[in-house]
Chains A and B, each alone.
Chain A
Amino acid sequence: DSGVTQTPKHLITATGQRVTLRCSPRSGDLSVYWYQQSLDQGLQFLIHYYNGEERAKGNILERFSAQQFPDLHSELNLSSLELGDSALYFCASSVGTSGMETQYFGPGTRLLVL
């Protein structure tokens, strides 16, 4: 599958813990975006990386951080987890940064904080 991949599919953890979500973009895509989808807030943009550099930040909490590595995969780190962080976390990728490009989404990581 040459599409966007995300691991793990599911994650169950406890409050106060830290987790790392991983995303591999489509081959050739330099941009990676992270989104959070919750029942009450819908799909919310968190952060965007392009070729290893942070390009835009959305409603990302200070407890959350991300990075994009030289091989272009990205990791989203969530720390001091709270019950409200339970959500579906999507990664998307695109070729560049024009804003008019199609973003290709991964299957998501479902995080449950107990």
Chain B
Amino acid sequence: DGGITQSPKYLFRKEGQNVTLSCEQNLNHDAMYWYRQDPGQGLRLIYYSQIVNDFQKGDIAEGYSVSREKKESFPLTVTSAQKNPTAFYLCASRQGRAGEKLFFGSGTQLSVL
């Protein structure tokens, strides 16, 4: 089955620790996105990648980093500089030439110990 796989489903971060969230897609989509969702809030864009080896900061990129070395993979690192990382993180990819449809993964819930 084609789709987007996010792992792990739940992740706990200790003070001062960097953690990496995995996002893999087998849809052959060029564009991939990372969003953060807080309770009662909409989706806020962290990073966006249109093609391999290229990515742009979104509205809330501070404290996060990404890489896009392969078309299928777009991992997100939450660094120790992100002081309030507790949130639900969603990865998505885009079908078509424009953003008319995003396919989302099932999300990763990150919590601070």
Same assembly? no
Chain B residues within 8 Å of A, Cβ to Cβ: none
